[in-house]
Amino acid sequence: MNNPPVFSPKAYRRILMPGFLFVLTLVIVVLLWITMVNQDSVWERLLFLGGLFGSLYGFVVGFFFYRENDDKRQKHFDWLHIVIVGVSLGIVLVLVPAEIFAFTYTLFVLNIISASLAFSVKQVRVLVLLAFLVHAHGYFQEGYLSRTEDLAVILSFPSLGLIVSEMVHWFQETILHTFRRLNTVNAISRKLSSSLDEEEVHAWLKEAIRGVLDADTYYLALVDDDYLDLGLFYDDGEYFHAVKIPIEGTLGGWAIRNEKTLFLNDLRIEPKLEGVKTRLVGKERASLSWLGVPFKTEHVVGLTGIASYSPLAFTQRDVELLESLTQQAALALNNARQHKLVTMQARIDSLTKVYNHGYFLEHFKEELASARSDNTHLSVIMLDVDFFKDYNDTYGHLIGDEVLMLMVKTIKRFIKESDAIGRWGGEEFIICLPKTSLEKAQLVAVRIQETLEKMQISLLDHQNIPVPTVSQGIAEFPREADDAFRLIDLADQRLYVAKERGRNQVEPGPLG
């Protein structure tokens, strides 16, 4: 995938430089030639020449100057530059011959543009003020200020300077803001394209939205049955976790159902969307601008939304930017979900949907290490279906498969979410019970045994048949073994003791 280029604030200066430099050189050459011909006083010629070179210096330094730091020496240089350029422009405005006076507007504007590119608004205003004062003082000495047209000329320069300065600073801020957005999107795109973790995708998307969009609220919602699961939800300076809202009747639900961006920039007016009502989520405060971009991939369906407490807060550029970010995030989420599914398929038994032998053993070792570190109990139950081969031969393998799935479902009823169950092989299963003593594990085993004894399965001819019984062996860490294989081997030995005692047994039985 080709990433977009990284922009810098200097880029547009390099583009504009040749044209500006040519125009400025042409203006100064014309002014020099005509003035040297028409100017009678050597002093005035030298002064005018100094003003022109000061203006040239101001343009070159301002245009090519780029502050990398704000130390005190740099600031002193900034102000010295402003004084030199301001006075130089004022001198040129006073001494330039009347027949070429129009050229000075170009010279003045070029200097204001270059200064605005390098210095603050305050500094450029001081430059304009200095040029105005020198210009006005020169005209006052010559006795020109009595005429209305002279007053208009003098006032036209500071007015033009301030207008140009504000326009350049606005244009520069717009360009810089665009550069920052593009750089942020570019950086986030690279991170998203390489991420295979959903939580990481949420974090990168949060960073992107905070960096480039001025929103009071933002969230990433994934469709979960009839609900929107807001895994990432930020509202007015606070993050909210585990937020779920019904998908029907919501703005997000409408965007997802219609598969198109919904942009409502003034919610002071109730949106005319069939079956939709605005809903407060997070802080008890209504948003007045809302933007939602839906996405749909092979493995995930959802929406990225932003909102503001101010009306008319977003622009069409914000819409396009959020659509771009959402597309990147959707692809990353889809890749992460697909990677998770592939990983789980490698860990899960295809029939019973519990851990397979290899992954259960890996998980069991981690749980045992954790129990050793925390100095807590851990119990393991080995469970085997009695006479399962005979059962399969009598009723068929489809009924046998149904029995295994029913047994797994029963086991899950009596174990915690933190517990784990694996298919050890064939009709033999193993259960890991962290932070569980031998006595509590026996209670779990007995409940599984008693529940299975009462269950029945209906055949196609509506004949009810009993579910086979199970034999179970239990062992506890660290009381009876301190190693994963020894613990499993002990539980397996006790399983066979239970079978030898007549099956449908738990070994060891209730402790005295």
pLDDT, one tens digit per residue, over 48-91 is 777 777 777 777 777 665 454 455 556 667 888 888 888 888 88
Q: Which parts of the chain have pLDDT scores under 70?
A: 1-45, 63-76, 99-100, 141-148, 278-280, 460-462, 510-512
> What pLDDT, on the 0 to 100 scale, is given for residue 511?
58
Yes or no: say if 437 and 377 are a contact pair by the CB < 8 Å rule: yes
Return the beta strands (E) in 439-499 as ranges. 456-458, 464-466, 470-477
> What pLDDT, on the 0 to 100 scale, is given for residue 27?
60
> What pLDDT, on the 0 to 100 scale, is given for residue 271?
82
Return the beta strands (E) in 225-354 as ranges. 227-235, 238-239, 243-246, 262-264, 289-296, 301-308
CA–CA gap between residue 360 and residue 425 (Å, rounded):
12
> What pLDDT, on the 0 to 100 scale, is given for residue 153?
80
> What pLDDT, on the 0 to 100 scale, is given for residue 260?
93
The answer as to CATH 3.30.70.3150 being correct for domain 200-338 is no
DSSP string over 374-415: HT--EEEEEEEETTHHHHHHHH-HHHHHHHHHHHHHHHHHTS
Q: pTM to 2 decimals?
A: 0.59
Q: Which amino acid is at 82?
A: I
The residue from 427, 428, 476, 507 that is catalytic is 427
| Structural domain spans, the chain | 11-177, 200-338, 357-507
Same fold, 200-338 and 357-507: no
User: 427 an active-site residue?
Assistant: yes
> What pLDDT, on the 0 to 100 scale, is given for residue 7?
42
| Multiple choice CATH, 357-507, 3.30.70.270, 3.40.50.2300, 3.40.190.10, 3.40.980.10 | 3.30.70.270
pLDDT tens-digit map of 269-291: 888 887 777 666 777 788 899 99
> What pLDDT, on the 0 to 100 scale, is given for residue 77?
75
